Amino acid sequence: MLISCSMKAIIFTGGPSSGKTSVLEELKKRGHKVSPELARSVIEARLEKKACDRETLLRQLLIFKKQIAEEHKHEKLLGNNELVFFDRSLIDSVVYSHILLGFNIEDFFGLIEPEKYHKVFFFERLEFKKDGIRIESEEEAQLIHDALYNSYKKLGCEVIMVPVIPIEKRADFILERI
């Protein structure tokens, strides 16, 4: 089991440059429990490694492992109906593995229990910006965005679209729908 039914796991997803992290930080300022995007920390820790297929595979495996551990950690720590906001989920890790490495998404769907995710908020994309960690092109970012949306829907998740509005209003929008 990835996430206990007792915890309300709220997933933030969407393509690169959609504002998930900014809204997560806003919710943290308001006193909510949050789980940051784990891929960024893995990539930052391995920046000195030469980019190649092997390195990409290692990074994706580390991200996958960290995501599972993070979801388990919150499952153990939180009680009934406590909220935790996740910047991405295991589904995102699978989609990135598909995009970056050509993994067959269907091979991983059996490992994911999407019903454990209480709500899924899908962020509309903002203006695309590279930040030194993000290496995708505009076209790749859109491809990721579309693949994430399609994967969540295919797994039967109810996807709530988060419009492009100021950060505080996005946070309010989400809180009103929980």
- 82-87, strands of its sheet edge to edge: 34-35, 82-87, 7-13, 117-123, 159-162
Phi, psi of 117 (to 5 degrees): -90, 115
**b/e code 26-45 from CB counts within 10 Å (16+ = b):** bbeeeebbbbbbbbbebbee
The architecture that CATH gives domain 7-176 is 3-Layer(aba) Sandwich (3.40)
Determine the Cα–Cα distance for residues 173 and 126; give it in Å rounded to an integer. Answer: 17
Q: What is the pLDDT of residues 19-53, one digit of tens each?
A: 999 999 999 999 999 988 877 777 767 667 777 67
Domain range summary for the chain, segments of one domain joined by +: 7-176
pLDDT of the residue at 131: 58
Task: Say what the pTM is.
Answer: 0.81
Q: What is the pLDDT of residues 71-105, one digit of tens each?
A: 777 676 655 567 889 888 888 888 887 777 777 76
- Least confident among 1-10, 135-144, 160-169: 1-10
Phi, psi of 174 (to 5 degrees): -65, -50
Residue 110 buriedness (CB in 10 A; 0-12 / 13-18 / 19+): exposed
Specify the DSSP class assigned to residue 123. Answer: E
